[in-house]
Structure 1
Amino acid sequence: MPALPSPIALITSRLPARHRDAAGELLRFGTVGVFGLLMDIAAVYALIPSLGLYGAGMAAYLVAASCNWMLHRLWTFRARARQPAHTQWLRFLFVNMIGFSINRGAYSLLIASFALPRHYPVLAVCAGAVSGFLINFLLSRRLVFV
């Protein structure tokens, strides 16, 4: 009995052949991003008592980014994972500083400007994640997983 195609393969099979690989990577990147968002939220809430809202936001980003890099290396960009792991991880963190700036800039702006995100930091974490998503994908695809 043949294996069933993955949901990502089903979605991308409707696209022209030249776009399937990139679309699959984008969908996997987004899936990993959701997992990273959950890690980010959990870390923020776990670290708030010891680091405060801003410190927790910064530390949680490093935790989530490291988890995301590993999943991207093993799944999203597995065919492109040619460099040594430590080199690629450092490159991932470095090039995603742009996405980090956008992500945590949105987080900090919302925390500083509105009471609701101060009471429910999950709102600021989600807004930051959405803000940095596309730039992180493009940088990862073109500069990290080459």
Structure 2
Amino acid sequence: MNNKYVKFAIVGGIGFIVDLLLMILFATFLPLLVARLLAFFFAVNSNWLLHRNFTFKAQQEQSNSGLRQEWSKFLCSSCVGAMPNLLCYWLLLTGLSLTGNAAIIAIIPGIMFAMLVNYFLAERWVFGK
């Protein structure tokens, strides 16, 4: 198995924990979709920092991208991955009328699919040469 993909999955796991914990926190005082979007934004930023310093460190050091450009690319690629992620969440939330803990757990399938999309974009575009 690709060592970089394992690192990507580890960072993704950390990002998932950040995402889930913040989703739970924000859902206590915000509407669910707003809580989901805020949690996603914080998780994206933590993932970018971890990926640039752990997963793609060697590629990042050889990259011509500046810090702001790299972050912008990562944010854009994460938003592309977020589309099926959030669509899946919305379909589960509304289609099954989920509430409470079930609504929070419904983020898992979308996150799994988005991980594949995000890896491809990060490897080829964000941290690529």
With the length of structure 1 as denominator, give the TM-score of the two structures: 0.79
Provide the rounded CA distance (Å) in 2 between the counterparts of 1:51 and 1:79.
Answer: 40
SS in 2 for 1:105: helix
Secondary structure of 2:30 counterpart: helix
Note if 1:133 corresponds to 2:112: no
Query: How many residue pairs end up in the alignment?
Result: 124
Partner of 1:80: 59
2:20 aligns to what?
41
Alignment match, 2:95: 113
Match of 1:16 in 2: none
- Cα RMSD of the aligned pairs, angstroms, is 1.3
> 2:104, 2:27 → 1: CA distance?
12
State the Cα distance separating 1:111 from its structure 2 match. Answer: 1.1
Partner of 1:32: 11
Aligned sequence identity (%) = 27
Q: In structure 2, how many angstroms separate the alpha carbons of the residues matched to 1:106 and 1:131? A: 9
Higher Rg:
1
> Which of 97, 100, 104 is residue 86 of structure 2 equivalent to?
104
Q: Tell me how far 1:107 sits from its aligned partner.
A: 1.1
Deviations 1:34-58 (A, max 9, x none): 1100000111111113321110001
Structure 2: segments with no counterpart, 5+ residues? none
Distance 1:68 1:91 in 2: 13
Q: TM-score normalised to the size of structure 2?
A: 0.89
